Every structure is written in structure tokens, then in C-alpha cells.
């Protein structure tokens, strides 16, 4: 009996010793990151996570930079020390000069949802996938996607117009824009008619269940803990059921689309200019060692669905929100659009038309500056590094502060926090702007391959909406920015909408 008690006590003290070391001794007395300034940990368990997740805290990293500098230590789950960097030169080193020495830390949730396509592939796999995919994103291919963007934008316009004509002026625009961007990526990505704007679609429903459902502490906890203990996704909880269904639907739809295009290719009928058809035709001409596997092609679809759908939808929502808050800027953009397209019933721009609009370009750039698709991106170093004379041990999780760069007064002046599209017409300011301090689509070999597609779709949707409608805030309705699972307007983008008659 005594031996059993001694064994138990020994095991207990070993476990408690490991926990104490992990939560307290390592972060405060041993980790090299302890020498780097930063905010104090709020909790031995949660670190600074609660502060990061609080809606009322905004983007606390901006305050950290102001107080502690551009290289900061903060604490994650179980008090794990992490690095936050808002220095343009260091970010250049990580994203441009040593892109493959800093990998994306594995996320069970994202891998399950989109697979290891271009976003999550690493090293030689990423280089091969990127090289093979580049020819699909040429100017000649992208300009042929514009009519599909215009067609979906027109459907979106008609639906909003119908709601207004039926007497509804305060409109929740989030689901409309989300479905519109899904329909566009279906057409330009796979020549597939999702038609989610006008009819129920299982993929739209599945995505909506994880991206637009309420954010709860349980959802956040499951997402974080699953990176350490993947089996928690098997617990039959409602957030897990929604997530697993979205993964299953995305995988099944992607597999079906690949099979359909392969069958067309076998019959020499694959003539489409959508991204998937282009990729398959390119792939079929490559030597075996450069080809993508069927599984990798499926991952590209899942990646396009996720990235092309969510990022453009979020960006369009925030642009409308900013223009509603700044009616003079909205009027200026509408004046440019009216001049370019006097008859709104004949709004049918080409790629060159939409990219020639100077003020539209300013509005889009400014909106992406203040609301980049990802305000922070995360990397992990594969080997020891020295940054700003600090030793950074390998496998350190490093957050790159994109929004901190976008709001730096050193680059953008004292009005860096303000929505001011005209700043992009100021050559004394723009001469200091580069792909090292303005990074809505990142930079280097891992930048967004579909950025020109996304920008084109964004501009077409925004132009259609501003040319046809006036957007104003709803009195008494407050919109916040939530940080999880995507930086969307919370609880939704609700605006008062009226029709432009002339």
C-alpha cells in the first residue's frame, strides 16, 4: 500500500513540476524571449489571449507597439512566450529574404478545411505548386473573368433593389456579399454555378455555419486546443459538428469539380478559362516530377474557395462600412462612377475600364490599408535567429503586425488612423509606400497569387453597389470588428440603403 502511495506521490510531483516549469519557470526565467519588452501576461493559463479576444480592446497590439517598441514578447495559451514584430525591415527578412525558413505553424482547423494547397504547402512542395499555378493568373486570363464578376454583381444589385422596393431599407448586407463572392469564385475558379444568391446551396450554408455563426468561448477554445490535441474535434459538440460538416462538404465539392474537369479533359472538351481548367491543362503538359497530384488539385480548389470567397467578402463589407461613415468620400466615388458609366443600366466594365478609375483605386487601397484581410499573420522559424540583437530560438511563434505597419505614423502621417482615400493622391506620401510597409496581400514568394483576381472582383462589386445605392449608418446600430474566425463586422454589416435614381 505504501509503495502505491509513493508511486502516486512521485507521479503527482513530476506532473506538477512539469506544469510549474511550463507555465512559470520557462517563460519568466529561462526563455530567451523574456529579455524582449512586452505586456505582462494576464494569466498563467491564457497568457494575453483574453485581451486579444476582447471586442472592446480593438487591436491591443497597436498599443503594445506604442508602449514597448516594434519587437515585442507576449504570451499565448499556457503562458507560452511569443513574438510580435511590427518592423518593416524584419518583416522583409521573414517574408522576402528567408520566406522558406519561416513556416506557417500547423493549424488543424485550417488544414482540415482547405488542405495543403498553396496557402499551407511548405518548402519544395510550395515552390512546385506555385510555379505550376503562376501561368493561370496572367493578365489575359484575369481580364476574361470580369464578365462573370459583373453578372454576379448585377444579381446582387437586383436583390438589394427588390428589398428596398418592398419597403425594407435597413439591410443586413453580410449574407448577400458573402454569397455573391462565393458565386463569383465558383464561376471564375471552376466554371461552376453555385447560384447561392438565388437558391439554397450546401457549400454556402456550410461556410455560413462556421464564418457567420456567433463566436463563443467554446468555439475559440476548441479551435486553439485542437492544435495541441486534435482528438477534441471528435467530441460531439455543436461547433465541432458544424466544423466537420463544412470540411466534409468543401472536400466533397472540390473532389467532384476536379473529376468533372478531368473527364472533360479526357474528351478534349476542357476549353474553359476558369482557374481549375487552366490548372488542369497546364498540369497535363508538365513532366511527372513537376505535376500536381489529384489530391493537390483538390486542395487548390478548397484554397480558392476559402481565400477567394472570404477575403473579398470581408474587404467589400469594410469598404461599404467606411464609405457609409464618410458620405463625402462615398459621393466622390459615385461621381467618378457616374461619369464613367452615365447609364447605370449599362454597367458592363472591362478589366481596363475598372482599373482606370483613379478614385476607386484610392478607396480600395485605403480600405485594405485599414482593414487588411489579415491584420496579423503568423510564422515559425525553422532555425535559431538573431533579430534586433535578440536571440530567437527555433520554433518560436512569430506574429507579423500587418495592421501595425498600415497604421504607422512614420509612413502614413498623423492621420494614419483615419479613412482618407485622397492620401493615395499625395505623391509626397506614396513615394514612401512599398510592398514592405503596405501588405494587404503580403510580399515575397508566398504573397497572394490571386491578388489581381481578388482586386478585380472587389472593384467590380464595390462599383456596382456605389453606382446604384447610397449607404448610410443605421442610427443606434453599433458595428464592431471581431477577430475570430475572420475579421468581419460584428454582429453583421447593417446599413440603411436607398436607390440612386439618376
Name the binding residues. Answer: 448
Instruction: Please name the residues in contact with 369: beta carbons below 8 A apart, sequence gap of 6 or more.
Output: 406, 412, 438, 440
**In this structure, what C-alpha cell is assigned to residue 213?**
455563426
From residue 389, alpha-carbon distances to 33, 315, 336, 372, 392 in Å are 12, 37, 50, 30, 9
Instruction: Please name the residues in contact with 92: beta carbons below 8 A apart, sequence gap of 6 or more.
Output: 436, 443
Of 161, 165, 171, 212, which is closest to residue 494 (Cα–Cα)? 171
**In this structure, what C-alpha cell is assigned to residue 479?**
458595428
334-338: Cβ within 8 A, 24+ apart: 334/466, 334/467, 334/470, 334/500, 336/360, 337/463, 337/466, 337/467, 338/467, 338/502
DSSP string, 272-330: --SHHHHHHHHHHTS-GGGPPPHHHHHHHHHHHHHHHHHHHHHHHHHHHHHHHH-HHHH
DSSP string, 49-115: HHHHH-GGG--HHHHHHHHH-SEEEEE-GGG-EEEEE--HHHHHIIIIITGGGEEPPP-HHHHHHH-
For the chain, what is the total number of helices (H) and then of strands (E)? 21, 12
Q: CB atoms < 10 A from the CB of 477, how many? A: 12
C-alpha–C-alpha distance, residues 383 and 209, integer Å: 39
163-171: Cβ within 8 A, 24+ apart: 163/497, 164/469, 164/497, 164/498, 164/499, 169/496, 169/497, 169/498, 170/474, 170/477, 170/494, 170/495, 170/496, 170/497, 171/494, 171/495, 171/496, 171/497
C-alpha–C-alpha distance, residues 146 and 396, integer Å: 42
C-alpha–C-alpha distance, residues 42 and 57, integer Å: 14
Radius of gyration of the chain (CA): 24
C-alpha–C-alpha distance, residues 356 and 460, integer Å: 12
Q: CB atoms < 10 A from the CB of 270, how many? A: 20
Residues tagged in the binding site annotation for heme: 448
Instruction: Please name the residues in contact with 449: beta carbons below 8 A apart, sequence gap of 6 or more.
Output: 118, 130, 133, 134, 137
Question: What SS3 class is residue 497?
Answer: strand
Amino acid at each position: 500500500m505504501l509503495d502505491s502511495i509513493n508511486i502516486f506521490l512521485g507521479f503527482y510531483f513530476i506532473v506538477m513540476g512539469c506544469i510549474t516549469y511550463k507555465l512559470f519557470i520557462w517563460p519568466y526565467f529561462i526563455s530567451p524571449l523574456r529579455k524582449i519588452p512586452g505586456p505582462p501576461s494576464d494569466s498563467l493559463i491564457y497568457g494575453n489571449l483574453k485581451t486579444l479576444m476582447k471586442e472592446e480592446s480593438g487591436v491591443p497590439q497597436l498599443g503594445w507597439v506604442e508602449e514597448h517598441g516594434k519587437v515585442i514578447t507576449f504570451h499565448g495559451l499556457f503562458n507560452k512566450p511569443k513574438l510580435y514584430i511590427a518592423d518593416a525591415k524584419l518583416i522583409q527578412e521573414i517574408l522576402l529574404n528567408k520566406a522558406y525558413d519561416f513556416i506557417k505553424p500547423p493549424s488543424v482547423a485550417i488544414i482540415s478545411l482547405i488542405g495543403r494547397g498553396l496557402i499551407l504547402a511548405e518548402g519544395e512542395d510550395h515552390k512546385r505548386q506555385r510555379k505550376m499555378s503562376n501561368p493561370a493568373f496572367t493578365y489575359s486570363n484575369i481580364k476574361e473573368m470580369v464578365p462573370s464578376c459583373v453578372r454576379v454583381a448585377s444579381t446582387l444589385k437586383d436583390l438589394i433593389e427588390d428589398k428596398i422596393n418592398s419597403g425594407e431599407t435597413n439591410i443586413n448586407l453580410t449574407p448577400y456579399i458573402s454569397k455573391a463572392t462565393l458565386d463569383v469564385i465558383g464561376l471564375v475558379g471552376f466554371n461552376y454555378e453555385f447560384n447561392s444568391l438565388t437558391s439554397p446551396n450546401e457549400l454556402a450554408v456550410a461556410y455560413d455555419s462556421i464564418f457567420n455563426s456567433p463566436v463563443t468561448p467554446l468555439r475559440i477554445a476548441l479551435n486553439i486546443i485542437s492544435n495541441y490535441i486534435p482528438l477534441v474535434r471528435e467530441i460531439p459538440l455543436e461547433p465541432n459538428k458544424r466544423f466537420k460538416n463544412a470540411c466534409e462538404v468543401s472536400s466533397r465539392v472540390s473532389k467532384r469539380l476536379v473529376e468533372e474537369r478531368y473527364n472533360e479533359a479526357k474528351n478534349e472538351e476542357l476549353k474553359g478559362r476558369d482557374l481549375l481548367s487552366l490548372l488542369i491543362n497546364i498540369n497535363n503538359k508538365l513532366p511527372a516530377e513537376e505535376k500536381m497530384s489529384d489530391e493537390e488539385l483538390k486542395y487548390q480548389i478548397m484554397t480558392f474557395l476559402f481565400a477567394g470567397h472570404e477575403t473579398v467578402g470581408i474587404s467589400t463589407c469594410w469598404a461599404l462600412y467606411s464609405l457609409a461613415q464618410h458620405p463625402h468620400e462615398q459621393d466622390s466615388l459615385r461621381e467618378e462612377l457616374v461619369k464613367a458609366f452615365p447609364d447605370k443600366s449599362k454597367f458592363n466594365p472591362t478589366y481596363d475600364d475598372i482599373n482606370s478609375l483613379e478614385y476607386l483605386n484610392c478607396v480600395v487601397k485605403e480600405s485594405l490599408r485599414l482593414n487588411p484581410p489579415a491584420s496579423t499573420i503568423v510564422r515559425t522559424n525553422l532555425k535559431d535567429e538573431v533579430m534586433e540583437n535578440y536571440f530567437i530560438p527555433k520554433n518560436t511563434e512569430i506574429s507579423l503586425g500587418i495592421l501595425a505597419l498600415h497604421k504607422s505614423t512614420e509612413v502614413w502621417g498623423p492621420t494614419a488612423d483615419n479613412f482618407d482615400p485622397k492620401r493615395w493622391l499625395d505623391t509626397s506620401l506614396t513615394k514612401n509606400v512599398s510592398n514592405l510597409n503596405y501588405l494587404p496581400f503580403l510580399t515575397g514568394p508566398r504573397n497572394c497569387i490571386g491578388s489581381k483576381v481578388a482586386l478585380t472582383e472587389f472593384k467590380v462589386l464595390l462599383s456596382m453597389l456605389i453606382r446604384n445605392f447610397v449607404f448610410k449608418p443605421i442610427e443606434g446600430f453599433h458595428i464592431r470588428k471581431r477577430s475570430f474566425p475572420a475579421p468581419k463586422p460584428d454582429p453583421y454589416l447593417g446599413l440603411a440603403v436607398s436607390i440612386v435614381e439618376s
